[in-house]
């Protein structure tokens, strides 16, 4: 069916264009705040591409040339009066149809995903106002909002102590000629002996991963425990083996383990004999 072939080619060209736009920027970021800043730049670029008619015209010309080489005419599905199995996109020409059904949705989806995952302000981003270059934006209301998400991780779980430390931190940053603009540089200036709460809050934000899609490492404890030979392992046994593997420093009482295992009568072989 011609429109399916055209759709696959269009998606390939469009994805190639989007990936070139995204990967044009550095792929390694020092911290989450820097990654969010670069994500905003990528989102702006994608939205400009969406509004630029010349980009779409060039892309559609490329897909038309590919279709001609394969003797395929650009076409579109018929517009049904009542559609149940797919989107009934209104369009008079194939170019208009593919622009509305593939081009716009894909660009919007990529931009929305970047904005949702990295740009939308969340509690974890509030510690970025501790960076000296952004300290001017730290209002008294934001001080309390910044304290609440990290309260359990701070040495002094006390807002009064945190607020007093913030006063000293602001005075220190005002006297700094070259103000740090990243979390790593801020962590170096916030000595744990003098600014323990600020040091801990910055460290928590710094350890947060930029992305959430991480593959299982080859040295994962769970991968070593649950192999293909033990794929039917139940949850209780897996949890027990995982705890034993992760905490090898805890001493084990083997006699007690044997007695507990023998006392459980749900087995075919009796381990305890009366004689």
Instruction: Encode pLDDT of 120-147 as tens digits.
Output: 556 667 777 788 887 777 777 777 777 7
Confidence of residue 172 (pLDDT cuts 50, 70, 90): confident
CB atoms within 10 A of CB 215: 6
pLDDT over threshold 60, residue 216: no
Give the tens place of pLDDT for each residue, 10-63: 666 666 666 665 554 444 455 666 777 777 888 888 888 888 888 888 888 888
Are 158 and 164 in contact by the 8 Å Cβ rule? The answer is no
pLDDT 10s digits, 81-134: 676 666 677 778 888 888 888 888 888 988 888 887 766 556 667 777 788 887
> Please, what is the angle between helix 32-51 and helix 2-22, to 10°?
140
**pTM exceeding 0.75:** no
Work out the burial of residue 161: count CB atoms within 10 Å of its CB; fewer than 13 is exposed, 13-18 middle, 19 or more buried. middle
């Amino acid at each position: 069916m011609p429109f399916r072939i055209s759709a696959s080619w269009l998606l390939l060209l469009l994805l190639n264009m989007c990936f070139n736009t995204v990967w044009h920027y550095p792929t390694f970021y020092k911290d989450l705040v820097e990654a969010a800043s670069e994500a905003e730049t990528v989102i702006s670029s994608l939205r400009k591409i969406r509004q630029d008619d010349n980009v779409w015209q060039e892309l559609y010309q490329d897909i038309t040339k590919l279709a001609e080489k394969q003797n395929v005419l650009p076409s579109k599905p018929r517009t049904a009066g009542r559609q149940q199995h797919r989107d009934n996109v209104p369009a008079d020409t194939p170019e208009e149809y593919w622009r509305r059904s593939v081009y716009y949705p894909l660009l919007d989806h990529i931009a929305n995903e970047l904005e949702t995952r990295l740009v939308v302000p969340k509690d974890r981003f509030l510690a970025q106002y501790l960076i000296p270059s952004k300290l001017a934006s730290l209002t008294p209301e934001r001080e309390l909002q910044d304290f609440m998400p990290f309260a359990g991780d701070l040495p002094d779980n006390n807002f009064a102590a945190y607020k007093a430390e913030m006063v000293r931190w602001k005075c220190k940053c005002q006297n700094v000629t070259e103000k740090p603009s990243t979390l790593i540089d801020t962590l170096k200036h916030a000595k744990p002996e003098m600014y323990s709460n600020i040091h801990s809050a910055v460290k928590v934000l710094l350890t947060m991963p930029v992305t959430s899609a991480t593959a299982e490492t080859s040295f994962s404890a769970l991968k070593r425990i649950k192999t293909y030979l033990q794929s039917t392992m139940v949850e209780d046994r897996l949890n027990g083996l995982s705890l034993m593997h992760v905490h090898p420093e805890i001493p084990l009482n083997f006699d007690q383990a044997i007695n507990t295992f023998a006392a459980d009568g749900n087995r075919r072989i009796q381990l305890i004999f009366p004689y």
